[in-house]
Structure 1
Amino acid sequence: MKVFAHRGASGDFPENTKSAILEALKVGVDGIEVDIQSSLDNYMVIHDSWLDRTTSGKGKVSDFTAYELSKVDAGNGEKIPTIQQLFDWNNNKSLLNIELKHTFELERFAAQLERNIEAKKISKANILVSSFDHHQLLWLKNRLPWLNIGALTSSIPINYAKFAKDLDAFSVHVDKNFVNKAFVDDAKKRGLKIYAYTVDKEQDITLMLKYGIDGIFTNYPVQTKAYLLSLQKVQLTSA
């Protein structure tokens, strides 16, 4: 089962910051998940539309320029990264799951992906763009047919993973509290990967394994990887 660092190693470092991202790279995760919001002139790596919860700033991200946002504290003296900084720090070392939050001007986003691929900052195989906004995913898939997209849901739809297949998605991303074996089986029958968020507790990790989930997003990648390794050792011992 793949391990994705949720907002970087956010359980031990300020979420969506350089330290959280670099720590995730250091521990060797399968992928790093980050959130993207639009500022007035750039794309910023931050989860909330409002600055209040995770930074020293006040107001909406979309009301400020990247320069203005660089002046706020995102935790422990860190700055809110731009998406380009994210690409530069990662430097194609890990898969990046970029979750679109309040984003606009997607042509600019698509062009930035293309520039970084051309510059070999990231490979096509190491980009996964996800969102709860399936309209944005559909637009991006039409604009960049090669792009792997992940359709997010926090429910168990009547037709399970059909909505993701209809989007020509690579993966469906589900809430650990709203998934069952039937959902997992349906996704796999449709040729989709199925990833669950946000999975930190050992009991939940074990349940996701039982269901056959392909990967989990965790705030504590070190602990999660260690627990998965311990389970593998137990299986080998009992085999």
Structure 2
Amino acid sequence: MRCIAHRGVAGPTTPENTLAAVTAALALDVDGIEVDLWFYHGRFWMTHDSLWPGEHRRLSALSHGELTGLRHPNGEPLTDLPVLLETVKDRCLLNLELKNSGGAEHLCEVLNTFTRETGITAEHIVISSFNHHELAVCQKLMPEIKRAPLIASLPLDYGASLETLAPYSINTSVELLEPELTRHIQRRGYQHWVYTANTADDWRELQSLGVDACFTDRAAALREYLGASQSPIV
């Protein structure tokens, strides 16, 4: 089971969704890192919530200059996607969660530029979103990119509706765990990734079910639990 550092490795000097948190995750030799991206004013901004603490306005209401001026508690600005890609390179899987609509085309442009300029393929990139329409755009523009639909509930026809996306993995909440779900996903040829599991009891259950990857806020503890075994990127 892969260890995916959820929003990097957060700590007193490494707030979540910062380059410091990403660098801390890389230092742990995790299998993957997950970050959140909002698309506004023609670029991506790496943060989780749609409301910035203390602003009392949504990110969507802020100008480009106001967004550029935001600072995390450690003083970092909101990271742009090219900077993130250059930091991680292909050292581990990188799960980019698209939080809002409209950014899929720009995402593909940035990824294509990155691969062209660095010679690093996008094999290690996974694009996830609750907005499956964004994943469909990625599929059309960059069919080789790994896609991971996020689902927080289980409608009766979820498997059939997701097949059109030809996903790499299906990412479900830890609250939805049941043996038949993992078997059903894997029988269709997809990986099953689970978010966000932070206890040893959760990890034991995920392993017993044969889940492929776990998003966790406690990457160091999960790495220790798993015996610090590194999984290959496939």
1: CA distance, partners of 2:175 / 2:216: 14
Which is worse superposed, 212-221 or 114-123? 114-123
Give CA deviations for 1:131-183 in whole Å, capped at 9, x if unaligned: 00111111210111111100110113324533332311111001011121101
SS at structure 2 position matched to 1:19: helix
By how many angstroms is 1:58 displaced?
4.2
Equivalence map 1:124-203=2 (5 Å): 124-159=122-157, 161-203=159-201
By how many angstroms is 1:38 displaced?
1.3
Which is worse superposed, 157-166 or 29-38? 157-166
Say whether residues 1:107 and 2:105 are aligned partners. yes
**1:149–1:19 distance in 2 versus 1, CA, 3 Å:** same
What does residue 24 of structure 2 align with? 23
2: CA distance, partners of 1:119 / 1:57: 37
By how many angstroms is 1:185 displaced?
0.3
The TM-score, its normalising length taken from structure 2, stands at 0.90
2: CA distance, partners of 1:27 / 1:192: 27
The amino acid of 1:203's aligned partner reads D
By how many angstroms is 1:60 displaced?
2.1
Residues 103, 134 of structure 2: 8 Å contact kept: no
By how many angstroms is 1:92 displaced?
2.0
Residues 91, 122 of structure 1: 8 Å contact kept: yes
**1:175–1:43 distance in 2 versus 1, CA, 3 Å:** same
The amino acid of 1:94's aligned partner reads C
Give CA deviations for 1:49-77 in whole Å, capped at 9, x if unaligned: 2212xxx5442223335543232221222
By how many angstroms is 1:104 displaced?
1.5
Q: Percent identical across equivalent pairs?
A: 28
1: CA distance, partners of 2:219 / 2:106: 32
Equivalence map 1:32-111=2 (5 Å): 32-52=33-53, 56-111=54-109
Residues 131, 150 of structure 1: 8 Å contact kept: yes
The TM-score, its normalising length taken from structure 1, stands at 0.88
Residues 91, 121 of structure 1: 8 Å contact kept: no
SS at structure 2 position matched to 1:196: strand
2: CA distance, partners of 1:122 / 1:62: 32
2: CA distance, partners of 1:28 / 1:105: 29
Higher relative contact order (CA 8 A, sep 6+): 2
2: CA distance, partners of 1:218 / 1:105: 26
**1:59–1:121 distance in 2 versus 1, CA, 3 Å:** farther
What does residue 232 of structure 2 align with? none
The amino acid of 2:29's aligned partner reads G
Q: CA RMSD in A?
A: 1.9
**1:178–1:33 distance in 2 versus 1, CA, 3 Å:** same
1: CA distance, partners of 2:182 / 2:89: 32
1: CA distance, partners of 2:180 / 2:17: 33
By how many angstroms is 1:7 displaced?
0.5
1: CA distance, partners of 2:74 / 2:38: 21
Residues 176, 198 of structure 1: 8 Å contact kept: yes
Which is worse superposed, 97-106 or 13-22? 97-106
